Structure 1
Amino acid sequence: MRKLKIAYSRVFNFLIYKYFELRFKKNKEILEKNFDNGRFAIEVFSKMGFGANLIWVLEILAFCEEKNLTPYIKFRNPSKRVGATSFSEIIKVQPENCESATIKYVVIRKFSELNLPNPWDYNARLTIERANFLVKKYIKLNPQILREVNTFEALNFKGHTVIGIHYRGTDKITEAPAVRYDAVLSVIQQQIIELKKELKFFIASDDQGFVDFVRKNIPESALIIRSLKRSGNGKPIHISFKNYRAVNREALIDCLLLSKCSKLYKTASILSGCSVIFNPQLKVEMLNEPYPEYRFFPEKFLISKPKI
C-alpha cells in the first residue's frame, strides 16, 4: 500500500509539473490579450495559508489599480484535499463573473512567473490604509461567514472590553523567535491588573497546547475561545489538515473577530496581521519580531518594541 501511495504521488506531481509547463508557454500570449482588453485574469496555485493568500490578493489588486485593469482572481491549492479552491469561495473579488468562458487565466505559482518588464514589488508598496481601501473597493466576503462573525460578536463581545490574543505556535519559529506560553500568560495577567475592570480575552491560536495552557491558568469566565480544530503536534494546520475549506473558513472568522477587539496582542503571523487591514484603528502590540528577511506587509508596520 505504501509503495502504491508513493507511485501515485509521483504520478500526481509529474502531471502537475507538465500542466504548469504547458500553461507557462501560453502565459505571455494570454497576458497580452487580457491587457489589450483591460483586464488581469490570474489563477494562483498556492500552498500558503489564509493570511499569505490574502496579501497576494491585495498585491494583485494594487497592480490592477495602478494599471487601470479589471481584476479576475482565482486561487487553487495544488492538492487533493477537500476544498482546494475554497479560498476563492470566501474571498470574492469584484466583478464576480470569473467563470466566464471568454476569460483565459494566466497561471502562476509566484509573481516572477508573470515575466513582467518591471520587478513585482507590490508587497513593499502596500500600506495599511491602501490595503483597507482595496478591500472595501474590490473584496466581498462570504455572507454566511459574516453572519456567523456578527452573531458570535453579539453573543460574546457585547458589553465587555475584549482583548485579542493571537498565538501562532507552529511553523513561525523559522520566521520569528518563539514565544513561551508563560510569557503570553504574563501579558494577560498584567492587563487584568492594569485595567481593573471586567475583561474578556478572545484567544485565537493554531496551537491546542497553548489553548489548554491558558485555560488552566485563567478563569474560564474571562476567556472567549472558539471550538475548532487546532494542531496538536506542531505541524501547521493549513498543511496537515485534510479539509482545506474548513481551514480557510476558520482562519477568516478568527481574523475578523480579532479585528473587532479593543486591542490585539499577537505573535508574528500574517493572519492576525491582516486584522488591522479590516480595522486600521485596531491597537496592536507584537509579542515578538519577525526576523529581518521576513518583515513583509502588514507586519512591518506593526513592529515597534516587542512587549516581551
Structure 2
Amino acid sequence: MPELPEIETIRRSLVHLITGKKIQQVTVRLARIIQKIPPEVFTHRLQGLSIESIGRRGKYLLIHIPPYTLVSHLRMEGKYRMVKTGEPWKKHDHVEFRFTDGTALRYNDVRQFGTMDLVPQGDYSTIKGLATLGPEPIDEQFNGALLQERLERSRNTTIKSALLRQDRVAGLGNIYVDESLFRSGIHPERPVHTLQQEEYDRLASACKEVLLEGIAAGGASVRTYSSPESRGSFQLQIQVYGKKGEPCPRCHHPIERIVIGGRGTHFCPICQPACTERDQLSVKRTKRSPS
C-alpha cells in the first residue's frame, strides 16, 4: 500500500498535471469505487467544475474541486496517470476525468480496493478513517512527547502495531515503520508502555527523517507503486525492510523477519535488542486481550 511519501509524491505530480483544469466529463466503469452516492450523481456533480488545488492528509489525496473535495484513497494498488482524450482504456482503468484541454486523468486499480468520496469542500466528517487521523510525523510540532501522548491508549500493544494505527499517527505503513524502528534501535515487539522518553524522542526523529527521505526519493517502488510522472527510488535506500537474511548495514548480522499483527516485520536482532522477559509477558497478555 502506498504510504505517506508515495501519496505526497503523487500529490505533487497532480499539482503539476491537473491544477486549474476544467472537467468536461467523468466516466466511471467500476461503480463500487464511488462511495455513498450513485456513480451518475458523482459524474454529474463534477461536470463543468475546475481543479482548484491538491492536498493530502495521511494516506488520503484531497482534490479540491469547489464546491466539493474529492477524497481518494488508493488502498493497495490504486494509481493515477495522464492520457490523451480517446486513448484506449487499459484492463484495470476504472475512472476517467476528461478535461477540456484534450487530456484526461485515469484511475487504475488492479485489486479494486481504492475508494473515492465526494464531500462538501473541507468537510471530512463522514469519512471515518480521515476524520480520526492522528498527527503527521513530518509536521514541525511532531516530537517524542507528542508521539508518547498519541500512543498512550496502545500501551500494551507492540510498538510496531501501534505505529501502524492511523488514528494514532498518520501516514506510516509497513516499510517506513520497519525503517524507523531500525534507525531508532527499538525492537518491533516492544510493548508501548516499556519505551522510555529518550526512546520516544529517537523514534519520533527517525520517523520524520525516514519519511522526508522517502518523499525526496519520490517514494519506494518496491512492488507496483508509481506516481503519474515516475517511479520512486527510496527502495535503494531501504536498510531492513524486505531484506531477510541479508547483512545488517551496521553490524552485519543477518536481518530477521517475523510476523506482528499479520504484517511481515524486518529487523536486526543485534541493533534492535530483543524484548526482556517482562516485555514478552506483556506481549502475551496483549495477544489474549488486545487494547
Instruction: Give the TM-score taking structure 1 as reference length.
Output: 0.27
Structure with more strand by fraction: 2
Per residue, is there more helix in 1 or in 2? 1
TM-score for the superposition, normalised by structure 2: 0.28
